[in-house]
Amino acid sequence: MSLADLRTFLLTAALASAGAIAAYLFGLPAPFLIGPASAVSIAGLAGLRLSIPTSVRNACFVAVGLSMGAGLTPEVFVAARTWPLSFLLVPVAIVILLYSATWILQRFFGYDRTTALLAASPGHLSFVLSLAADTRSDLLAVGVIQSVRVLALTLTVPLIVEVLDLVGTAPPPAATMAIWPLANSFAAALGLGWVLMRLRVPAALLMGGMIASGSAHLSGMVEGNLPAWILIPTYMLLGAMIGSRFSGVSLRALRTAFVAGGVVTVVVVVLAALIAALVSHIADVPVDAALIAFAPGGLETMAAMAVMLNAQPTYVGAHHILRLLLLSGLMPYVLRRDLSRN
């Protein structure tokens, strides 16, 4: 990391810290996500160059996975017997959200079919951008609309859960992992994550952390969750990472895309909430967990949010991983079919 990159990172971290403190003092839900995402977004739109180094980002993904795995208990597997009903609605939700948003972007904002499809994809941002680079789509519009969706969901889902009084009951305070089991778990997660990356598995580092931690906790080799001095900075850096996507983007250039992203986000939140209510009814899953599981936000962010709000993180993570796997196959097929027709 160069000195300039280090200065950029330190500035980003400082803004994220200030945002987190402000959100905490104002009593906002999930303050360590909402505050940094808001502060860094505003600073980026104001013209500051902000970013999170890849190594730091990857460490955060591993930490979120370890925290999710720490929640794996025999009781989770008992509850998981009702999850297949919920899993069946994931592809249904993807199709509904994808084509509803595509229609809005074409009908009201004038985007071409390919740009609208890519911008409407309910998640898998990096994969979608790589697909967009190989087409004649408006790459800036795709990136901005997708980033607005991720940011808006990060800000609104905790507020919806709070306003509707859907916050899960906090579990009894868990023991904190000792330093050596923590270090060993982190090393195992990195190794497993590397293998999953070689296999091109989505969210490989997060999954590596979840599998390593979950296996260790279920076997009794490790007890307790990650300490707050790791979890809180992790949440803050994830929020900053979301906000940093707007760094260096001209307000004039993104005006239409920003509005389009906002409108699409409102629509998909409403649709996701309706689907979550149905899932909660038929699968006997808490509404907050279903809403976070079906909201098309970033996997790592939604997983961290589930941990913070005590909303069945394993259930949430499993659904978002399934969504990414389905999108990995669906989006190339949809684009090929669309391009062949045109």
DSSP result, 252-292: HHHHHHHHHHHHHHHHHHHHHHHHHHHHHHHH---HHHHHH
- pLDDT attached to residue 207: 85
Report if residue 14 sits inside a domain. no
- Is residue 95 included in any domain, yes or no? yes
Q: Would residue 165 count as lying in a domain?
A: yes
Which has the closest alpha carbon to 107: 218, 228, 232, 267? Answer: 267
The number of domains in the chain is 1
In terms of average pLDDT, the best of 136-150, 227-241, 247-261 is: 227-241
Whose tokens are 């899932």? That residue is 279
The answer to whether residue 32 sits within a structural domain is no
Q: What is the structure's pLDDT at 336?
A: 83
**Predicted confidence band at 174 (pLDDT cuts at 50, 70, 90)?**
low
User: Model's pTM, two decimal places?
Assistant: 0.81
Instruction: Give the pLDDT mean for 264-288.
Output: 93
Q: Supply the pLDDT for residue 230.
A: 93
Q: What is the pLDDT at residue 195?
A: 95
For residue 212, what are the domain limits?
54-221+251-341
Q: Looking at the predicted structure, is the pLDDT value of residue 59 above 70?
A: yes
Highest mean pLDDT among 14-23, 211-220, 223-232, 278-287: 14-23
Segment holding 183, helix H or strand E = helix 179-198
242 within a domain of the structure (yes/no): no
Residue 88 parent element (H or E): helix 83-109
At 176 the three-state DSSP class reads strand
- What pLDDT, on a 0 to 100 scale, did the predictor assign at position 168? 55
Domain presence at residue 39? no
pLDDT at 138 over 90: no
Closest CA to 115 of 250, 16, 256, 5: 256
Separation between Cα atoms, residue 167 and residue 126, nearest integer Å: 30
d(CA 138, CA 338): 16
CA angle at residue 42 from 38 to 45, to 5 degrees?
140
> Bridge-partner residues for 207, per DSSP?
none
Q: Which tokens in the block code for residue 241?
A: 């990472």
The answer to the question of residue 317 being in a domain is yes
In this predicted structure, the answer to whether residue 83 has a pLDDT above a threshold of 60 is yes
pLDDT at 337 (0 to 100): 83
- Inter-axis angle of helices 83-109 and 287-294, nearest 10: 50
Instruction: Place 166 in a pLDDT band, splitting at 50, 70 and 90.
Output: low
Whether residue 245 is contained in a domain is answered as: no
